[in-house]
Chain A
């Protein structure tokens, strides 16, 4: 029997069956069949995350091991599920479920929907797989599953040249990133004779840095960095994210690039001592947030502006990751969850606006606040959250991130961070001002399902902003399990 964690199994099987379901739906003219199936799959995946969490909590050392056929580590592939992986799977499935429901109306007039939903489900399966992979090889397989699905999804609207061009650029850059990952895999294998994280960690963690090790570090950074759009590897993102269909932009910005960041964090934290990556990450975070914020200020296209804002948010997360403390990691993980809600919502609302108005130019949205009040309200809440205004969840995680920088002895980084955050308000407010202004934009409010999802997410943003404790609790456990659980991790895999 193939030993696969339940959420992943659900997504893989569900995604695999989707073409058949789609065929049935088309032949038998059953409306909503494949949409309903997709939603069901996503809901089941989300639902099965909690039992998995219970299972992980009950397991010895809080690590659940599932070996793939082909032998045990150090050679065979495996899943190593800890609270961190479950946390990521939860973030992914929650956003995916919301986006799936939203897509049913957003995409209803498009063709090739079976393709769309299949790719969507498989992309999520890829991400959940990345979150739970226990060795580099498994990670890479799911990584590519996520990447390839997303290439096609970005250029899904293939009747226009923009998405094709953006998709191609994305594909070229991301494939280069994957090539670097392969290179780093071969280096890792050459140095340690294994691809298993635990074994690699055991042999590398305490080693003095050698040129080869630094090469490994660099290739890893480039490989994962391209996917997570760390400046200077970000150039594909401002093209790809705006050109994708609305729900896909929400997924890409909301969780896909964060999955890249998660993978980077996981591998780097397991295999390198903090002192090696701390200055690099701190410098990258400064460059990422500053450059992205300045560029975002110059955009006139709403989705493109949001894309740059995603890059800057990656910069904030890097602040937390660069600290090397559990507190900073907790902030980064919390920000991944919060950002998935905020940026997901922002892109969904932008999608609704594009859907109704037919334009992405901010200047053409004057007066939209009166025509599409609920979408505008949700978008405003999402943008205020992204700017880190208190009572939204964005504030809670940002304050932990900047606080962690001070705690790790990098007050300058914290100052640069908060100033960036303050600067970023300028472009968020510009959108809100445009929506609130009086103007001629004529559009009707989006369909009920789309509005409903937007309002629900806006509500979640405020609820988790006022009462962050539940998410903080899980993020806290997850961060500790990455940082302090290395020993447990090793002993779970390699035996005592």
Chain B
């Protein structure tokens, strides 16, 4: 396969498909979602062919020269650390494009009334594909400027999608989202530029040269601010609840599970692996920050009435877990964090999509106006339960494995030698109870109890909205039953961290 440049294809094919999909949608309207799925399905297949190699620890690299006089190359990398990130993003994008067909049709009709211009579909799917390319490019990058390029490239289409298709005061929310993450990104850029002047190169491989330099803590801090803004940890999260709530649901289902999780991946790639000793100094702050985020997100989600807002805070709390895994500084914990990104991706994508389905069928997201829907929407109810289980870490879903790895990492790793480590571990164990509680409580309120007024005629959403979610749920369980396909890749890439 390697002579066919699979990674280049993964990047180029959806990009090249963008105008095709645009023109198709201009003619054919909503069914363009199926067309947009074709290139994504193809790239997913390509990724799966790379999987066996990655599990053995083989790196797949393709590189090109870009602008040599300012030290830029253009490289694409797939290794054990990134392969599952890519698979998750690609899978979610593929399934959500099918889900979008009915969902965005509904949204466009809501926005424009009967006439619903075909350009609305066209620009949705074109931006959607660009967004996917941005995310994939970010994960595949081999140098910092290229990373930044894609990091920003995923921002612009997602902002436009929120701005054009979102709910509520979507323009203000879109701007909030853009500016917060953009400011984070430019601070990241300062860090990137500083590394250039120390190492003379933008390559990831040069990052390890910084570790011994006096400027290293500042650079790590700049990186961390950039990434933690994207991750929306406590204090940098102000954009998150509104954005996730007002974005069109099919996009939120990518924003939260796929995009914000790129930040912990980048932390591992940029900081943990190459600059381990410097990173150690930041560990206490990160652990504390992760715990605050985790608790705050969990408690806030208990207090929400809007399903998407609830899910938004629950995402924040899950990002706390992932950050804790990254902060544990052990192979197991770090692998667990990336693994949890995958599980959270599956689970949260299902849940957001379910929220979209509720909106599609009921027209409201207010929990207090729902109840007893399990009889009316049995499939949706089952999917919600599976989604909650995946996030909360109930066996046999993949969430159990990933959370177990995080916990094991936290107890086992360098954290456990200190009092702080023990208390952190205790707190997160207690917090799992809250995670389960807020998960099951919402299921009870939406799907059980007496049927709420006016919902007698509600039924499950159409098959094109359900099928993608069922596939995701099945994959989540399969990965949970056979976690080695994920963990082998991660261990092969991160074994160097073993302490």
Are B182 and A422 in contact, with the CB atoms below 8 A? yes
Are B149 and A426 in contact, with the CB atoms below 8 A? no
List residues of chain B with CB within 8 A of the CB of A438: 111-112
Are B153 and A390 in contact, with the CB atoms below 8 A? yes
Are A390 and B190 in contact, with the CB atoms below 8 A? no
Are B190 and A402 in contact, with the CB atoms below 8 A? yes
- Given the known inter-chain contacts A391-B153, A403-B197, please indicate yes or no for A426 contacting B175, CB distance below 8 A: yes
* Of B145, B163, B175, the contact of A399 (CB 8 Å cutoff): B145
Q: Which of B170-199 contact A (CB under 8 A)?
A: 171, 174-175, 178-179, 182-183, 185-187, 189-190, 193-194, 196-197
Output the nearest chain A residue to B160 by Cβ-Cβ distance. Answer: A436
Q: Would you call A407 an interface residue if the criterion is a C-beta within 8 Å of the partner chain's C-beta atoms?
A: yes
- Given the known inter-chain contacts A391-B149, A429-B175, A433-B174, please indicate yes or no for A406 contacting B197, CB distance below 8 A: yes
Q: Would you call B69 an interface residue if the criterion is a C-beta within 8 Å of the partner chain's C-beta atoms?
A: yes
Are A402 and B67 in contact, with the CB atoms below 8 A? no
Are B178 and A425 in contact, with the CB atoms below 8 A? yes
Q: How far is the CB of A373 from chain B (nearest CB, A)?
A: 8
Q: Would you call B118 an interface residue if the criterion is a C-beta within 8 Å of the partner chain's C-beta atoms?
A: no
Are B179 and A418 in contact, with the CB atoms below 8 A? no
Q: Which of B224-250 contact A (CB under 8 A)?
A: none
A389 to B153: give the CA distance in the assembly, Å. 8
* Of B69, B171, B186, B196, the contact of A403 (CB 8 Å cutoff): B196
Q: Would you call B266 an interface residue if the criterion is a C-beta within 8 Å of the partner chain's C-beta atoms?
A: no
Are A421 and B186 in contact, with the CB atoms below 8 A? yes
List residues of chain A with CB within 8 A of the CB of B196: 403, 406-407
Q: Would you call A395 an interface residue if the criterion is a C-beta within 8 Å of the partner chain's C-beta atoms?
A: yes
Q: Which of A357-396 contact B (CB under 8 A)?
A: 370, 373, 384, 389-391, 395-396
Q: Would you call A415 an interface residue if the criterion is a C-beta within 8 Å of the partner chain's C-beta atoms?
A: yes
A395 to B174: give the CA distance in the assembly, Å. 21
The CB with the most chain B CB atoms within 10 A, among A425, A468, A476, is that of A425
Are A426 and B179 in contact, with the CB atoms below 8 A? yes
Q: How far is the CB of B123 from chain A (nearest CB, A)?
A: 9
- Given the known inter-chain contacts A406-B193, A433-B171, A436-B160, please indicate yes or no for A419 contacting B186, CB distance below 8 A: yes
- Given the known inter-chain contacts A403-B193, A472-B69, please indicate yes or no for A389 contacting B156, CB distance below 8 A: yes
Q: Would you call A451 an interface residue if the criterion is a C-beta within 8 Å of the partner chain's C-beta atoms?
A: no
A476 to B112: give the CA distance in the assembly, Å. 51
Q: How far is the CB of B168 from chain A (nearest CB, A)?
A: 14
List residues of chain B with CB within 8 A of the CB of A472: 67, 69-70
List residues of chain A with CB within 8 A of the CB of B160: 436
Q: Could you tell me how many residues of chain B have their Cβ less than 8 Å away from some Cβ of chain A?
A: 36
Are B190 and A411 in contact, with the CB atoms below 8 A? yes
Q: Would you call B68 an interface residue if the criterion is a C-beta within 8 Å of the partner chain's C-beta atoms?
A: yes
A473 to B67: give the CA distance in the assembly, Å. 9
A415 to B159: give the CA distance in the assembly, Å. 24
List residues of chain B with CB within 8 A of the CB of A422: 179, 182-183, 185-186
A467 to B68: give the CA distance in the assembly, Å. 11
Are A384 and B193 in contact, with the CB atoms below 8 A? no
Are A418 and B153 in contact, with the CB atoms below 8 A? no
List residues of chain B with CB within 8 A of the CB of A469: 66-69
How big is the A interface, by class? 35 or more
Q: How far is the CB of A167 from chain B (nearest CB, A)?
A: 36
A415 to B194: give the CA distance in the assembly, Å. 11
Q: Which of A162-217 contact B (CB under 8 A)?
A: none
Q: How far is the CB of B318 from chain A (nearest CB, A)?
A: 27
Output the nearest chain B residue to A334 by Cβ-Cβ distance. Answer: B70
A488 to B187: give the CA distance in the assembly, Å. 40
List residues of chain A with CB within 8 A of the CB of B153: 389-391
- Residues 393-435 of A, flagged 1 when their CB comes within 8 A of B and 0 if not, give 0011001101100110001001100110110011001100100
Are B175 and A402 in contact, with the CB atoms below 8 A? no
Output the nearest chain A residue to B65 by Cβ-Cβ distance. Answer: A469
Q: Would you call A437 an interface residue if the criterion is a C-beta within 8 Å of the partner chain's C-beta atoms?
A: yes
Are B193 and A468 in contact, with the CB atoms below 8 A? no
List residues of chain B with CB within 8 A of the CB of A436: 160, 163-164
Are B193 and A402 in contact, with the CB atoms below 8 A? yes
- Residues 142-172 of B, flagged 1 when their CB comes within 8 A of A and 0 if not, give 0001001110110010011001100000010
A391 to B15: give the CA distance in the assembly, Å. 13
List residues of chain A with CB within 8 A of the CB of B67: 396, 467-469, 472
Are B190 and A418 in contact, with the CB atoms below 8 A? yes
List residues of chain B with CB within 8 A of the CB of A403: 193, 196-197
Are A390 and B149 in contact, with the CB atoms below 8 A? yes
* Of A389, A406, A476, the contact of B190 (CB 8 Å cutoff): A406
A430 to B163: give the CA distance in the assembly, Å. 11
Are B178 and A429 in contact, with the CB atoms below 8 A? yes
Output the nearest chain B residue to A384 by Cβ-Cβ distance. Answer: B156
Q: Which of B98-115 contact A (CB under 8 A)?
A: 111-112
A437 to B117: give the CA distance in the assembly, Å. 14
Output the nearest chain A residue to B112 by Cβ-Cβ distance. Answer: A438
The CB with the most chain B CB atoms within 10 A, among A370, A414, A422, is that of A422
Q: Which of A460-496 contact B (CB under 8 A)?
A: 467-469, 472-473, 476
* Of A418, A429, A437, the contact of B186 (CB 8 Å cutoff): A418
Are A419 and B183 in contact, with the CB atoms below 8 A? yes
What 5 additional pairs, Cβ within 8 angstroms, besides A390-B149, A395-B152, A415-B187?
A402-B189, A406-B190, A425-B179, A429-B175, A467-B66
* 12 examples of A-B residue contacts, CB within 8 angstroms: A370-B119, A389-B156, A400-B70, A402-B193, A415-B190, A421-B186, A422-B186, A426-B175, A429-B179, A430-B175, A469-B66, A472-B69
Q: Which residues of A contact B (CB under 8 A)?
A: 370, 373, 384, 389-391, 395-396, 399-400, 402-403, 406-407, 411, 414-415, 418-419, 421-422, 425-426, 429-430, 433, 436-438, 467-469, 472-473, 476
Minimum-distance CB pairs A-B, first 4: A390-B149, A418-B186, A403-B193, A422-B183
